[in-house]
A and B are shown apart, each in its own frame.
Chain A
Amino acid sequence: DTEVTQTPKHLVMGMTNKKSLKCEQHMGHRAMYWYKQKAKKPPELMFVYSYEKLSINESVPSRFSPECPNSSLLNLHLHALQPEDSALYLCASSLRVGAGLPYNEQFFGPGTRLTVL
């Protein structure tokens, strides 16, 4: 299995809703990532988990709450989002993570298209 899966593919939510995005990989990767991508822009890093611990939070608003239940799963809990949060949310994983390591390819999932009304 060499892929990253994400559910759901599409999500429409109101500003008062609570929803979750899910990501799964079975490649034995120890780093997992959440990215946000707006139309015609490159992906923007939101969070990084390394060995199931949050290692990077790129000053993301608290209405986004990540969770890593185990080495294969990554969730993104959403609450009280704003219309400007509408975007493609991408999950990625890489084999390893750490300072001084050589190149470290990240593999992306298909994304969840989120629309906030």
Chain B
Amino acid sequence: EDQVTQSPEALRLQEGESSSLNCSYTVSGLRGLFWYRQDPGKGPEFLFTLYSAGEEKEKERLKATLTKKESFLHITAPKPEDSATYLCAVQPPQGGSEKLVFGKGTKLTVNP
């Protein structure tokens, strides 16, 4: 069964303290890996798509990377407004392209 595991479950950082979130997956030959940010009570906000090992994407203080078994979301010099739950989802190779397998998310809190 395809699995996506995110770690840590929760992470507390001080403002300016850089760190990384991890998303490991057991899907072989995935067609895409997606990162979303979700604020409490709101829908997930799309951040990045990663498709092949070695690929990197950046947006402001966030940088996502992909290997054959995992993805990292690096947060450089975070600010309190970066506090949110970050979800990772993969698109398995089999079947249609509709079903995503989500991880349980990492809740990030950035203290001022």
Please report A residues at the B interface, Cβ cutoff 8 Å.
4, 6, 31, 33, 41-43, 45, 48, 50, 55-56, 88, 90, 92, 94, 96-111, 113
Cross-chain contact A45 with B32 (CB below 8 angstroms): no
User: What is the number of contacts between chain A and chain B, taking CB atoms within 8 Å?
Assistant: 80
Chain A residues whose CB sits within 8 angstroms of the CB of B96 once the complex forms: 50, 55-56, 97-99, 101
Binds A, one of B14-22, B45-53, B57-65, B72-80: B45-53
Select one of B41, B91, B102, B104 contacting A104, CB under 8 A. B91
Query: Contacts A103-B51, A108-B44, A113-B41 known; A45 to B99 CB distance under 8 Å?
Result: yes
On whether A42 and B103 interact (CB within 8 A), knowing A105-B49, A108-B44, A111-B42, the answer reads: yes
B contacts with A: majority SS: loop
Q: How far is the CA of A106 from the CA of B87 in the complex (A)?
A: 13
Are the C-beta atoms of B51 and A111 separated by less than 8 Å? no
Nearest-CB distance from A35 to chain B (Å)?
9
Judge if B98 is at the interface, Cβ distance under 8 Å: yes
B interface residues (Cβ-Cβ under 8 A, vs A): 31-32, 34, 36, 41-46, 49, 51, 87, 89, 91, 95-100, 102-105
Residue of B nearest to A90 (CB): B43
How many Å from the CB of A54 to the closest CB on chain B? Answer: 12
